[in-house]
Structure 1
Amino acid sequence: MLARTPPDSLLTMADPLVVENLSVAYRGVPALQDVSWTAPVSGLAAIVGPNGAGKSTLVKAILGLVPSTGRVTVGTRPFEAVRDATAYVPQRASVDWDFPATALDVVLQGMVREAGWLRAYGRTRRDKALALLDQVGLADLATRQIGQMSGGQQQRVFLARGLARNARILFLDEPLAGVDAASERIILDVFDRLDRDGRLVICVHHDLGTVAERFAHVLVLNRRVIASGPVSQAFTPETLARAYGVPLAI
């Protein structure tokens, strides 16, 4: 059997994520139209825009979770070739919280690539999963069923699962929506560590008032790209007015 390629060897820290002319339609209704975007090589990037702007759809299209036209590359390779070097944390609303899994089970799922579907998780991987839960402040809740946790705790469990993939690029869909202040602080601390480690964190984000404080790069979207680039250049009252259709104070 061929050995799996370690995820960190799939990408170098200089390989950019490039989206070219990406379009998505649901039942003939355009959700994204000719979106082209070059993400920063590393750091924290926010995707913002009004409801229905296609923010979550863009992330899913990049990941190949919804049908689309266009092209997504990382460095010189198609996204599919480097998928194992990425991780995805979906919106909480898309998760079946009644599934009989503990917090530890969920984090171990992030290591399936390492262990393989048909192999049991050894002590080493369980210890690693517990260490990741400790990073997000949940080591003492490792055996708790995920549906019995608060919203902020659930979000932290899925962040730990994303970290378990040791990914170079992490996609998170509304990771701070509806979480308590303690969970928000822990999540942002993890983001800061990933930033210092040279990784790329791409977040669908809803709170415009905190974009400049928390992110270095922004993509302003409303089915099409309105603006993208460093927050100081792309996150302006003018671009927000174009995206939201009304003047907004930053």
Structure 2
Amino acid sequence: MKKYALLRYCLVFLAIVLPYFTAAAFHGTEMVLAERKPDMEEYLPILVFSQISPDMKKETIKAQTVIARSNIQRRIGEGKNLAEILWENENAGEVWRYFFTEKNQIYQQSAKETGGQVLTYEGKVKLTPWHKISAGKTRSGAEAFHDEAYTYLKSADSSGDKKSPDYMKVVEIPAGQLSGELKIKKRDSAGYVTELMVGETLLEGESFASGMGLESANFSLQKKDDTYYLRVRGSGHGVGFSQFGGNEMAKNGSNAEEILKKYFPEMELKEKYSKSE
């Protein structure tokens, strides 16, 4: 039975992806993207696999599935077609692993059990962000993105994240690697660095974290001799759904709907969504 299931999964994958490569060789990617119209629910389990570990609780994976579906619907509403969205997926390695993991059925079950569900705000699908581990509290969208359009993304307590073995890491940066003294200038209400100085240069917190390879922009620093020691908390931008925090809720009996309500209190879970609404 497993062999037949694996064959079926592979055929689904080939039906989605292989036509792009073969047709693109003859007609170009633009024509292929315009003509090929794969079904979102068919591809969704593979996409969610690339976003969240199968070792997470099923209710956590279901929550991530709703988030992924919401983001796809949002981009379709912005004028993207599904083929373009699939084409832009950068997790090809994760996609291939999907077909060889024994736990891949949980993603199909999650897609089926949440069939059609999306998160909306004022009747419309919006950006629905997620990250792996918060610093104990998720961020306000308006603060993180410096845009009042994201006020619907409220900060939420996620103290369960502190139980993660990856909650905190210490990163060492030789002072000579920087062009001047490193100082934190400003943080947001969740403790994430939004502005810092390197010598006379003002930098944005997320950009600095990304450039230095830090797991998140929530960090404190201490200089000793010629080395800066950064205590980095969490993993990711800290906005929206924290996978580890959500999984702690699932371990304590919360279902996907309750998890999503915790992290997106201003948003509504819709059973079926039509962009004409």
- Range class of TM-score, shorter chain: under 0.3
TM-score with structure 2 length normalisation? Answer: 0.26
TM-score with structure 1 length normalisation? Answer: 0.27
Choose 1 or 2 for highest CA Rg. 2
Higher-helix-fraction structure: 2
Higher-strand-fraction structure: 1
